[in-house]
Amino acid sequence: MMDRRRFLTFSAVGAAAGSLGACSLWSADRAAEPGGSGPADLRMSFGPAETDIDLGGVSVPTWAYGNQVPGPEIRLRKGQRLHASLTNKLPGADTTIHWHGLAIPNPMDGVPVLTQPPTPVGQTFEYDFVIPDSGTYYYHSHVGTQLDRGLYGPIVIEDPDEGDAYDDELVVVLDDWIDGTGTTPDQVLENLRTTGMRDMGDMGPDAGITPSTPMGGDGGDVVYPYYLINGRVSDDPQVADFRPGQRIRLRVINAGGDTVFVVAVPNHAMTITHTDGFPVVPEQADSVILGMGERFDAIITLESSVPVVAAAYRKDGHARMNLRVSNAATGADIDDFVSTLRTMVPLDTASLAAAPEVNLPPGDPDRVIDMRLAGPVDGYNWTINGRLYDPPNDGYPVEPGERVRIRYINESAMVHPMHLHGHTFQVMTPTGGTGADGFKPMARKDTVLVAPLATIDVDIDTNNPGRWITHCHNVYHLDAGLATFIYYE
């Protein structure tokens, strides 16, 4: 591995595009913006297609970008312009690309019907936007269950001012995998629609919530045969080499379809520095719970070879990768640690305080929108305020320049990672006071875990006009209706 600073230098002169060129996805236009002082553009092309992928001794047919899972990493800096050309090579299916977490112009957001027609087979769609914020993000298809195949990849937006805090970094992409193992995500969804869910039992007053199960007793609707980190199963994990004493920044992304993960590094405390791209007041944690679509950044100081472990929440199975120090083995058996991890009290990143410089300006909301999350109803349907997602109908109008509070009210027995496009919201925790003093501002995020029978309040400023979907980032809940949108000119 090259160290982080050498990578940035390498990337700045355009050689990074060449290092990814084997995928035939990338080209770089390194001409500066007019005047010669602005950041360079990056031009790239996507050709999602059917392919066979080796997950580490497990070969599966799936859909992927550039014949790899995850897709190639996009690495830019705030203020750069990204030109991305999508040519659909899939077998008989429309597609799009959504740039998860980036508050970009509405026509570039990649949501069928709301922001663009889905791109048919053989056709091309051009994405073109300026990167608004630094942080850890990812891209993925926003059509049907395609995210639960291999159509996703990481985005890293560099902040040069953060360089002194760590020596090297590692992108860690979590996933649950079922495609090509005798079924497909489309078939899984059809089976859920046909047979419904298993009985979740009586929710009771707490829906199974305990300190070690903060998101309730139900881990999801789908049983997965494999869990992955960076496209590798736990029996044949990726290995990354480091030197003793190095400070490593982990950029952790949950790209799963139906699985919340609990993430930890044995015998190494993690200093959490960011969630969903935005900085927080740093806090140490032994484990972090991460919903689908959520990300966190953490710094660890490596003292010995150690795995990164992601245990599937309330499911059997885990993912791992190995951080190797001085070529020493990490050991293969981590079952005891996984069992211990399931009893630990994980950190929910929504409970962290935002760094002061990214807090929204104080103020009471101009309007409040309640969104009641319910299901399954009438078989396998999930609703918001009793309605299935029906774009472009049934949205919620707001006005530009408003402070809007969305209240995600979970009336179901399952956790829902709720994601809002086009904005980063501030989680607002009730304090028992009145008015502006009745809520304490917490982390800036774009995806938040809403536990069973819980309510999460989030505030946004309406400063990015368009039609913006908000939805559960469980792929199957979204496709079964658990979404709506806000809109303003």
Domain that holds residue 325: 169-351
The C-alpha angle 182, 171, 248, rounded to 5 degrees, equals 140
Which of these three, 131, 159, 187, is where a domain ends? 159
The C-alpha angle 112, 113, 118, rounded to 5 degrees, equals 40
Rounded Cα distance between 341 and 343, Å, is 5
327 and 300 inside one domain: yes
Looking at the predicted structure, is the pLDDT value of residue 458 above 50?
yes
What is the pLDDT confidence band of residue 332, given thresholds at 50, 70 and 90?
Answer: confident
347 and 388 inside one domain: no
pLDDT at 35: 40
- Mean pLDDT, to the nearest integer, of 243-266? 98
Which of these three, 296, 328, 351, is where a domain ends? 351
415 and 446 inside one domain: yes
- Mean pLDDT, to the nearest integer, of 292-320? 97
Q: Is 87 within a domain? A: yes
Which amino acid appears at position 308 of this protein?
Answer: V
Looking at the predicted structure, is the pLDDT value of residue 4 above 70?
no
Looking at the predicted structure, is the pLDDT value of residue 24 above 60?
no
Instruction: Give the total number of structural domains in the chain.
Output: 3
Q: Is 413 within a domain? A: yes
pLDDT at 8: 37
Looking at the predicted structure, is the pLDDT value of residue 257 above 90?
yes
Cis peptide bond upstream of 392, omega within 30:
yes
pLDDT at 38: 54
Give residue-wise pLDDT tens across range 363-391.
999 999 999 999 999 999 999 999 999 99
- Give the pTM: 0.92
Give residue-wise pLDDT tens across range 25-43.
333 333 333 343 456 799 9
284 and 370 inside one domain: no
| CA pseudo-torsion sign 474, 475, 480, 486 | positive
Among the listed residues 250, 349, 238, 355, the one whose alpha carbon sits nearest the alpha carbon of residue 301: 250
Which of 17-21, 201-205, 403-407, 484-488 is the least confident region? 17-21
Tell me which of 162 and 234 has the higher pLDDT. 234
Rounded Cα distance between 63 and 48, Å, is 7
What is the pLDDT confidence band of residue 87, given thresholds at 50, 70 and 90?
Answer: very high
Percent of the chain residues topping a pLDDT of 90: 85
pLDDT at 40: 77
Q: Is 259 within a domain? A: yes
Q: Are strands 232-233 and 226-229 parallel, antiparallel or unpaired?
A: antiparallel
Which of these three, 333, 351, 369, is where a domain ends? 351
- The CATH number covering residue 473 comes to 2.60.40.420
Let me know: does 220 contact 261? Beta carbons within 8 Å.
Answer: no
pLDDT at 204: 59
What is the pLDDT confidence band of residue 9, given thresholds at 50, 70 and 90?
Answer: very low
Looking at the predicted structure, is the pLDDT value of residue 20 above 50?
no
Looking at the predicted structure, is the pLDDT value of residue 164 above 90?
no
- Mean pLDDT, to the nearest integer, of 9-13? 31
CA 148 vs. chain centroid, Å, equals 13
Q: Is 164 within a domain? A: no
345 and 364 inside one domain: no
Q: Is 394 within a domain? A: yes
Q: Is 403 within a domain? A: yes
106 and 252 inside one domain: no
Looking at the predicted structure, is the pLDDT value of residue 160 above 90?
no
60 and 206 inside one domain: no
107 and 205 inside one domain: no
Looking at the predicted structure, is the pLDDT value of residue 67 above 60?
yes
Rounded Cα distance between 298 and 280, Å, is 11
Mean pLDDT of the chain: 91
Among the listed residues 372, 219, 347, 216, the one whose alpha carbon sits nearest the alpha carbon of residue 281: 347
383 and 285 inside one domain: no
Q: How far apart, in Å, are the Cα atoms of 243 and each of 266, 325, 328?
A: 17, 5, 11
SS3 for the chain, per residue? CCCHHHHHHHHHCCHHHHHCHHHCCEECCCCCCCCCCCCCCEEEEECCEEEEEECCCCEEEEEEECCECCCCCEEEECCCEEEEEEECECCCCCECCEEECCCCCHHHCCCECCCECCECCCCEEEEEEECCCCEEEEEECCCCCHHHCECEEEEEEECHHHHHHCCEEEEEEEEEECECCCECHHHHHHHHHHHCCCCCCCCCCCCCCECCECCCCCCCCCCCCEEEECCEECCCCCEEEECCCCEEEEEEEECCCCCCEEEEECCECEEEEEECCEEEEEEEECCEEECCCCEEEEEEECCCCEEEEEEECCCCCEEEEEEEECCCCCCCCCHHHHHHHCCCCCEEHHHCCECHHHCCCCCCCCEEEEEEEEEEECCCEEEECCECCCCCCCCEECCCCCEEEEEEEECCCCCEEEEECCCCEEEEEECCCCHHHHEEEEEEECEEEECCCCEEEEEEECCCCEEEEEEECCHHHHHCCCEEEEEEC
338 and 364 inside one domain: no
Which amino acid appears at position 331 of this protein?
Answer: G
Q: Is 263 within a domain? A: yes
pLDDT at 39: 64
User: Which residues, including other chains, have CB under 8 Å from residue 287's CB and lie 6 or more apart?
Assistant: 262, 263, 264, 341, 344, 345, 346, 347
Which of 10-14, 147-151, 335-339 is the least confident region? 10-14
379 and 316 inside one domain: no
Cis peptide bond upstream of 34, omega within 30:
no
What is the pLDDT confidence band of residue 16, given thresholds at 50, 70 and 90?
Answer: very low
Looking at the predicted structure, is the pLDDT value of residue 49 above 80?
yes
The C-alpha angle 425, 426, 427, rounded to 5 degrees, equals 115
Q: How far apart, in Å, are the Cα atoms of 163 and each of 8, 167, 204?
A: 10, 8, 48
Q: Is 323 within a domain? A: yes
- Mean pLDDT, to the nearest integer, of 119-131? 98
60 and 175 inside one domain: no
Which amino acid appears at position 349 of this protein?
Answer: T
What is the pLDDT confidence band of residue 18, given thresholds at 50, 70 and 90?
Answer: very low
Among the listed residues 484, 487, 483, the one whose alpha carbon sits nearest the alpha carbon of residue 398: 487
pLDDT at 28: 37
